[in-house]
Structure 1
Amino acid sequence: MVKNQQPLSKLNIFSFKGIQMRTFHITWITFFFCFFGWFGVAPLMPIIRDQLGLTKSEVGNIIIASVSATIIARLLIGKLCDTLGPRLTYTVLLVVGAIPMMLIGLSTSYESFLLFRFFIGIVGASFVITQFHTSMMFAPNIVGTANAVTGGWGNLGGGVTNLVMPLIAAGFAAMGLASEADSWRLAMVVPGVLLLIMAFVYYRYTTDTPAGNFKDLEMTDAAVRQKKEKGSLIVVLRDYRVWVLTLAYAACFGIEITVDNVAATFFIDRFGTGILMAGAMASIFGGMNLFARALGGIVSDKVGRRFGLKGKGTLLGLLLVLEGFGITLFAASGSLLVAVIFLLIFALFLKMANGCTYGIVPFINKDNIGVVSGVVGAGGNIGAMLVGFLFKSEDLTYADAFQYIGIGVVFIGLMVVVTKFQAKPVADVVSPELVLER
């Protein structure tokens, strides 16, 4: 049995005391490395494209493949969390995900690279486990902020990889361990090893709940209640608000992972930058996760306390509209400096929208929060998969694709603004007791 058995009601990000804060830090760090590995090849794609002789259409298919497996994985991983517990689920996911990550360097053709890229995508389901595990460790009054912080800091890995992976590849080439053309193959072993290390750390130093692991708590009322929570997918899918939030998450998180995939290549092709400079520019986008997603969650909570769920929905819609306009301006930029400025602007609104979306999710169906979270989370990857077809088109430049994306995001934002999220009295939907209770 573990001391400090109750979920924490305060979040002190500088504290490592207690199983709750230890799990908080381990889960976002693990999520960070999952994102780091998931998009590890993205800044190296110009090298890979030249070596494997990939066409623009084939690169587009690879982008689509990288997010496709995550759709299925995110829908299934919540159930595994309910049965195995987040500790074992994360451990298994990390070990399984590390294998294709370390072996992708064996690719010698478009087909083999596509297959490895597809299977690497399962580590994107780490988001669901991180949100689930954080929810177990924090009380209703603070869990929204805690989830936003772990989600944002974990997503940061998608930006850091754009800066670090080209440096790792260049380092191996400089040491003579690989040629410049083959340096990406050895570089991808690094994130795979990191995932194996985090698998051990997660298994050894976390527990499923503040009171212990599921297997140790099977006879307690809390554990029995947790085990019996199956949710109803049909009920959730009948709620139009779930579909609107799924579209909203496709328009923010779906675009985020798309940008993580294509930003470096866009800067090289559009402005003729080198691979290190392109990676540095792309990393700025991901770096916004350091604070922007958490900011969205915090602002959403404040708006919700004053204006209820309707206010939260309006805020989300406005953030998406601003994001869409920012993307269109980014696509039309004629210089690298202007492009980076608009990249920062639309990144801020996009990542705030991420946090705001999951500031609404817990209020949609308090009896099936896990199912709603899984469906909305999968929506992000569905969005990324669909817009991936724009980037594979031989008739569209990457700038053209971003223009169409920006217009689409604006329309989705307007739809969110007019959506009636308020299905219950304000006093009910803003009550802290309804937030992510399990």
Structure 2
Amino acid sequence: MPNTYQGNRQILFLTTLAFFVSVLVWFNMAPFQSLIMEQMGLSRDEIGVLMLVNLALAIPARVIMGQWVDRFGPRKVFSILLMVMSIPCLLFAFGNSYSQLLVSRLLLGGIGGSFVVGIRMLSEWFPQRQAGFVQGIYAGWGNFGSAAAAFSLPGVALIFGGDNGWRFAIALTGVIALVYGVIYYFTAEDSPAGKDFKQSSSSGVMKVTSVPDLFLLMVTSFPLYGGLAVLVWSLQRTSMLPAEWVIALYILLGGLYLTRAVRIWTANWAHLKKEIPREERYSMSQVSILSISYFATFGAELAVISMLPMFYQDTFMLGAVGAGMIASSFAFTNLAARPAGGWLSDKFGRKRVLMTLLLLLGILYVSMSFLSSHWPVVIAVILTMCCSMVGQAASGSVFSLVPLVKKNNTGQVSGMVGAYGNIGSVCFLAVLHMVNPVFFFLTIGAAAFLCFGLTFFIKESQSQKTAIRSPVEEEILQAR
């Protein structure tokens, strides 16, 4: 029998590198925050706003990219995204006013939507029995772009030298994105030879297959706008937004959600009047549970990475370098932990592994709430590393299930689930601003326990339960 997936390793390398470049560009400001503050005369609040807006558009971008990738294919979408996002990257690099930095950083947040594009690409190029492992490699090594930015860009700035070294280093990442966007377009393919790429006709609105699922989709869509509202509230707390702007943005977000809800209802009500073939049916509850689980796993990871250096400095009186090294351990463990979570799911059952990891994650984060200066630093670091590894493995386990919900809507499903990860980071950081780290860790632990309970309601098909299948069975399942 011919190899249906011939060339898939090359696609895995090309797509992981595309995501790596995206993350490198997305977090290229982080190593130069203090320098930018000094040169541009910015306050801590102003640099904090730049960090927040860098996350803002990633929430809707993941949903939009998910719709587009199902409609137009991952090769075009990934290539164009990289090339277009090089423009705000260059604008930020050579911005001379705070307004230029703010607008360009806001637009650059759109590159955070790149993650879902690769999920659809790899679901086409790899069999289901390998879905968790390869997507763990993609996410784990791609997200390492943030650590690569932290380690490499300061050295690049020194090579260029002078006061503008940081500008040239950031601009270089934009040039890399532009060049690699062209390379990816001419070297990648949407699907293997002889295998059709199944496009989705529902690129604007996700189509459900039952009336209860219609209401569930409307409820699940609300946090996509609620997360942006939390972001606006966080900006208000920094006194960077006038009260009238805040009110206007709340009204705008409310209006956008109502408009979206009407579109969801209109498109799906007409769709549900038709007879839906059995092979087209799927459960929206699966999407909702996976979304909330990613909220509690990857969302917590992003939030903890943001607060961990300062937490270790304040709790254990460590220097900035030592605390930064501990925080960077999250990025390094991601290289192995996320693929491991996917591999375990492929091997031992996706639902079972996800439930186990969520339960462990809840226990570990509750344990983190007891950290204090009385703990030996070594024990604290070990506990932190365990949280990192289990959380990232759980993220990998979540996305081992995503491509199996509905094949030709993988982009839309992964867009929804992926957006919840960004929403989680915004919400958990908002909690941290209101309470102390003890309650911050307890909140994350409670969210993990909640997701553990929800995973009991995941209904696995036989193809999801079985990790090892014969090539003939795989061909039949992929053809459905």
Shared fold (TM-score, shorter chain, > 0.5):
yes
1:350 to 383, 391, 397: 391
Cα deviation for residue 273 of structure 1 reads 2.7
Task: State the alpha-carbon separation in 2 of the partners of residues 332 and 250 from structure 1.
Answer: 29
Cα deviation for residue 91 of structure 1 reads 0.8
Larger mean CA deviation between 378-387 and 354-363 belongs to: 354-363
Q: Which residue matches 1:194?
A: 176
Verify the 8 A CA contact 1:325 1:406 in the aligned structure 2: yes
Q: Which residue matches 2:32?
A: 44
1:415 to 430, 450, 462: 450
Verify the 8 A CA contact 2:75 2:185 in the aligned structure 1: yes
Tell me, yes or no, if structure 1 residue 226 matches structure 2 residue 199.
yes
Alignment of 1:32-111 (within 5 A): 32-111=20-99
Q: Which residue matches 1:11?
A: none
Cα distance, 1:97–1:329 mapped onto 2, change above 3 Å? farther
Verify the 8 A CA contact 1:242 1:376 in the aligned structure 2: yes
Cα deviation for residue 115 of structure 1 reads 2.0
Larger mean CA deviation between 76-85 and 87-96 belongs to: 76-85
Alignment of 1:122-133 (within 5 A): 122-133=110-121
Q: Which residue matches 1:405?
A: 440
Task: State the alpha-carbon separation in 1 of the partners of residues 406 and 3 from structure 2.
Answer: 27
Cα deviation for residue 89 of structure 1 reads 0.7
Cα distance, 1:415–1:389 mapped onto 2, change above 3 Å? closer
Percent sequence identity is: 29
TM-score normalized with structure 1 length = 0.79
Q: Which residue matches 1:14?
A: none
- Computing the radius of gyration over CA atoms, which structure comes out larger, 1 or 2? 2
Question: Deviations 1:41-72 (Å, cap 9, x if unpaired)?
Answer: 11221222333344444343322211111111
Cα deviation for residue 411 of structure 1 reads 0.4
Unpaired runs of 5+ residues, structure 1, are 8-17, 213-219
Cα deviation for residue 427 of structure 1 reads 3.8
Larger mean CA deviation between 344-353 and 367-376 belongs to: 367-376
Q: Which residue matches 1:19?
A: 7
Verify the 8 A CA contact 1:361 1:372 in the aligned structure 2: yes
Q: Which residue matches 1:283?
A: 328
Verify the 8 A CA contact 2:199 2:408 in the aligned structure 1: no
Give the secondary-structure state (helix, strand or coil) at the position aligned to 1:207: coil
Task: State the alpha-carbon separation in 1 of the partners of residues 150 and 167 from structure 2.
Answer: 16
Cα deviation for residue 331 of structure 1 reads 7.9
Letter in 1 for 2:73: G
2:302 to 257, 267, 287: 257
Give the secondary-structure state (helix, strand or coil) at the position aligned to 1:40: coil
Task: State the alpha-carbon separation in 1 of the partners of residues 334 and 47 from structure 2.
Answer: 26
* Count of matched residue pairs: 398
Task: State the alpha-carbon separation in 1 of the partners of residues 312 and 428 from structure 2.
Answer: 18
Letter in 1 for 2:84: V
Q: Which residue matches 1:245?
A: 290
Cα deviation for residue 169 of structure 1 reads 2.5
Alignment of 1:69-218 (within 5 A): 69-173=57-161, 178-179=162-163, 182-211=164-193
Verify the 8 A CA contact 1:288 1:348 in the aligned structure 2: yes
Verify the 8 A CA contact 2:300 2:444 in the aligned structure 1: no
Cα deviation for residue 300 of structure 1 reads 2.3
Task: State the alpha-carbon separation in 1 of the partners of residues 27 and 312 from structure 2.
Answer: 17
TM-score normalized with structure 2 length = 0.73
Task: State the alpha-carbon separation in 1 of the partners of residues 94 and 33 from structure 2.
Answer: 15
Larger mean CA deviation between 311-320 and 200-209 belongs to: 311-320
Task: State the alpha-carbon separation in 1 of the partners of residues 329 and 24 from structure 2.
Answer: 14
Verify the 8 A CA contact 2:91 2:100 in the aligned structure 1: no
Cα distance, 1:419–1:281 mapped onto 2, change above 3 Å? closer
Cα deviation for residue 107 of structure 1 reads 3.1
Verify the 8 A CA contact 1:316 1:416 in the aligned structure 2: no
Task: State the alpha-carbon separation in 2 of the partners of residues 330 and 365 from structure 1.
Answer: 42
Q: Which residue matches 1:370?
A: 411
Cα distance, 1:67–1:80 mapped onto 2, change above 3 Å? same
Give the secondary-structure state (helix, strand or coil) at the position aligned to 2:193: coil
Task: State the alpha-carbon separation in 1 of the partners of residues 86 and 101 from structure 2.
Answer: 15
Task: State the alpha-carbon separation in 2 of the partners of residues 367 and 205 from structure 1.
Answer: 23
CA RMSD of aligned residues (A): 3.3
Cα deviation for residue 21 of structure 1 reads 1.8
Letter in 2 for 1:385: V
Task: State the alpha-carbon separation in 2 of the partners of residues 93 and 292 from structure 1.
Answer: 28
Give the secondary-structure state (helix, strand or coil) at the position aligned to 1:188: helix
Verify the 8 A CA contact 2:308 2:327 in the aligned structure 1: yes
Verify the 8 A CA contact 1:293 1:353 in the aligned structure 2: yes
Larger mean CA deviation between 377-386 and 339-348 belongs to: 339-348
Give the secondary-structure state (helix, strand or coil) at the position aligned to 1:199: helix
Give the secondary-structure state (helix, strand or coil) at the position aligned to 1:246: helix
Q: Which residue matches 1:293?
A: 338
Letter in 1 for 2:4: Q
Unpaired runs of 5+ residues, structure 2, are 220-283, 468-473
Verify the 8 A CA contact 2:158 2:165 in the aligned structure 1: yes
Task: State the alpha-carbon separation in 1 of the partners of residues 175 and 305 from structure 2.
Answer: 21
Task: State the alpha-carbon separation in 1 of the partners of residues 285 and 99 from structure 2.
Answer: 39
Tell me, yes or no, if structure 1 residue 383 matches structure 2 residue 424.
yes
Alignment of 1:318-333 (within 5 A): 318-325=359-366, 327-328=368-369
Give the secondary-structure state (helix, strand or coil) at the position aligned to 2:28: coil
Task: State the alpha-carbon separation in 2 of the partners of residues 133 and 333 from structure 1.
Answer: 49
Question: Deviations 1:412-435 (Å, cap 9, x if unpaired)?
Answer: 111112225445466464146698
Give the secondary-structure state (helix, strand or coil) at the position aligned to 2:160: helix
